[in-house]
Structure 1
Amino acid sequence: MARILIVDDAKFMRLTLSNILKKADHDVVGEGENGKEAIEMFRALHPDLVTMDITMPVMSGLDAVKEIKQEFPEAKVVMCSAMGQQKMVVESIEAGAKDFIIKPFDENRVLEAINRVLDVTV
């Protein structure tokens, strides 16, 4: 079971992800609404993994990944993006994100990405 932080400005998306993760026996340790909260919560909670939306107010997921990876090189981040954000997904991966999931979320794809990044064999 992994400790996961969910960061997305849309409450519905956080809820959807949270349900998928809890069903797979993961522990959702926190939820944030923007990149700034993501960084603060990462520092406080030290989760095993973060799911991070790319486009958010205050600070983007891309900027948050860069800052988290700079401070915590071992951090595991999975980006969440809508269709058509390929350029930002590539930038996120270059910034240190380990994988990405496309919205709307497909439960199998979400768990596949999470397990791969956590290096869990199912």
Structure 2
Amino acid sequence: MQSGISSSGRPYTVIVAENSKFQSKQLQQILESEGYQVVGIAETGKELIDLYKKNKQVDLITIENFLPVMDGYAAFWELKDLGVIPRVLFISEENTPAVIKSLLDAGAMDYIVKPIKREKILEKVREIIQKIPKV
């Protein structure tokens, strides 16, 4: 069975926030190959916030820290201010230990430093989805 499908048969939904069209397409293909449903791709932190407001039931959000307009770090804090913290996985070129630690301490579920590797992405996404049962 594909890891992107819940036990009820519903696909888990994901928002991808990524500044590179190539990498957002790559992430979308990796996730959809396992049955996840990518409900939106945001190219800026502002687009991410708007997308989340329309898809509050989303199961997971992946965020690149280096987003234009509003970076991933600021977008993450804004998501937190909206109330419910969704499951957030950072997939970023940012590799500063202090930044990574502060995001994880603040509630991000995990952090992957690029380059994107299919198996690593799917393994982390599976772990995160299983870690927090949806209410």
Q: Same fold (TM over 0.5)?
A: yes
Indicate the percent of aligned positions where both proteins have the same amino acid.
Answer: 28
Structure 2 residue 69 is matched with structure 1 residue 58? yes
Structure 2 residue 95 is matched with structure 1 residue 84? yes
Further displaced range: 81-90 or 28-37: 81-90
Alpha carbons 1:80, 1:100 under 8 Å: kept = yes
Unaligned runs of 5+ residues in structure 2 are 1-10
Deviation at 1:112, TM superposition (A): 1.0
Structure 1 length normalisation: TM-score?
Answer: 0.90
Aligned letter for 1:10?
S
Counterpart in the other structure of 2:8:
none
Counterpart in the other structure of 2:117:
106
Alignment size in residue pairs: 120
Structure 2 length normalisation: TM-score?
Answer: 0.82
RMSD: 1.5
Helix, strand or coil at the partner of 2:16 = strand
Alpha carbons 2:95, 2:113 under 8 Å: kept = no
Structure 1 counterpart of 2:108, from 97, 103, 111? 97
Counterpart in the other structure of 1:42:
52
Max Rg structure: 2
Counterpart in the other structure of 2:3:
none
**Partner Cα separation in structure 2 for residue 75 and residue 11 of structure 1:** 23
Aligned letter for 1:116?
E
Aligned letter for 1:8?
E
Unaligned runs of 5+ residues in structure 1 are none
Alpha carbons 1:34, 1:58 under 8 Å: kept = yes
Counterpart in the other structure of 2:126:
115
Further displaced range: 31-40 or 91-100: 91-100
Helix, strand or coil at the partner of 1:96 = coil
Deviation at 1:83, TM superposition (A): 5.9
**Partner Cα separation in structure 2 for residue 99 and residue 60 of structure 1:** 17
**Partner Cα separation in structure 2 for residue 18 and residue 11 of structure 1:** 10
Alpha carbons 2:79, 2:85 under 8 Å: kept = no
Deviations 1:39-86 (A, max 9, x none): 110010121110000111111101111111221334111001126333
Structure 2 counterpart of 1:68, from 76, 79, 84? 79
**Partner Cα separation in structure 2 for residue 39 and residue 17 of structure 1:** 19
